[in-house]
Structure formats: C-alpha cells, structure tokens
Amino acid sequence: MILKGIQKTTLIDFPKRVGCTVFTAGCNFRCGFCQNPSLISFDSENAVAEEEFFSFLESRKKWLNGVCITGGEPTLQKDLPEFCAKIKSFGFEVKLDTNGSNPLMLKELIQKKLVDYIAMDIKTSLEKYSEICGVEIDLEKIKQSVELIKNSGLEYEFRCTVIPEFFSKEDAVKIGEWLNSSKLFALQQYSNKGPLVDPEFENKKPYSSEELLELKKLLEPFFEKVEIRNL
C-alpha cells in the first residue's frame, strides 16, 4: 500500500462513526475538478509507512471506531484486501471511497467482509462520463460496481459533485433512472477553489443553493434518501 496521508479525526467522512481517514496514492481518472491532484500519481515519495499508520490506530482504539480509506483510487492498490483485514483485526470498521472502476476488487472486499460501508462517486450521467473523467471510461465496469454495491447488504451511498455543465436536470433524471431504488444519493456542492487537476475548472461557477434544492426534488422519487452536502 502506498499511503500519502492521515487525517487523524473525522466526524464527517464515515457516517455515524468517529473515525480517521487514510489517503492512498494513484488514480486512473483525471477529473478536472478533483481537489487532490497530488494523489493522482503512484509516487511513493513522502509516503506514510504502514507501520506508522497501524501504530497510530493502536494508540486510538479507545477514541475511534472507524477508518475511511480514500484516495486517489484505493481499489488500484493490490494489497487493499490485506490492508482492510488488518484494520478490522484492530477492531475498527472500514469505509471505502471508490470511483467504481474496479468491480473485481469490490467483489472480493464484499465477499470477504472486509468493508462495512462503501461510498461510490457517480461522476455524471453515463453519456458524459468519459468527458468529465478526462479519460476513456469502461462504463460496463462502472455499472457492475453499482450493482455489486446495491446488492451487497452493506451500508452504502452514491454521491456526485455537481457541476452545472455536467449535471443538468436531464442528467439528474438519467442518473435517478440508472440508480433507481438505491438507498442514499448525495449531491455535493462543487468548489472551484484550487488547486484543481484542471485549472480551467476554477472558472466554472457552482449551482446556487436554490438550484441544488431543485435537483434534490427531481432525484427524490428514485432514492430512499437524497441529501445536499457542503451548502
């Protein structure tokens, strides 16, 4: 595992848990709006040693009960199953953030009961996926991951950072129809503050609070719950 950082306490990243967040290196997407450009590369320079991370977990057993693994894209790390298993051996629950591009890894983690909560980023409607991700996307893998997560029996959420150019009312309905009957969908307010992967995204304005509420109403028939974040 190439670990690039630790957020030692979070009350937000892992719902209903007091947790910490660990960041992995490397991502196969190039989303222009991403605010973690330093995590795209698999560069191990300034990496956090696993021994240091697990020593930290050992010291926080009394105060934390969850670990959020994010990136980058954690499922690109071949040692992820062993990493999750070791976290769970310490008595912590595991939340995984993923872009859904590696359904084989997701399937293994679910079948081996190595994760307790999965958050999958939905970039936009399927027709616009490759455009916003900055690379050609295998949509079949994205769709497979959605179905794996929906049928996993785990706590999960789908979430989308909402950029007007890539998330219109029509896109909202298409996403709702695609993810229909899912538990939770989160609309995440877009921030154009850098550093971003593509500086041009700093010129793209976010939706207003009122416009986000309109999108929320459009999506509500398709999900058990829809929420807006970072208003």
d(CA 24, CA 21): 10
| Positive/negative CA dihedral, 153, 71, 226, 177 | negative
Element spanning 229, H or E: strand 223-229
How do residues 74-107 score in pLDDT, each as one tens digit?
999 999 999 999 999 999 999 999 999 999 999 9
Model confidence at 131, in pLDDT bands (50, 70, 90)?
very high
pTM for the whole structure? 0.95
Q: What residue ranges define each of the domains in the chain, with the CATH number in brackets?
A: 3-162 (3.20.20.70)
Helices 209-219 and 169-178, axial angle in degrees (round to 10): 30
State residue 11 phi and psi, 5-degree precision: -105, 5
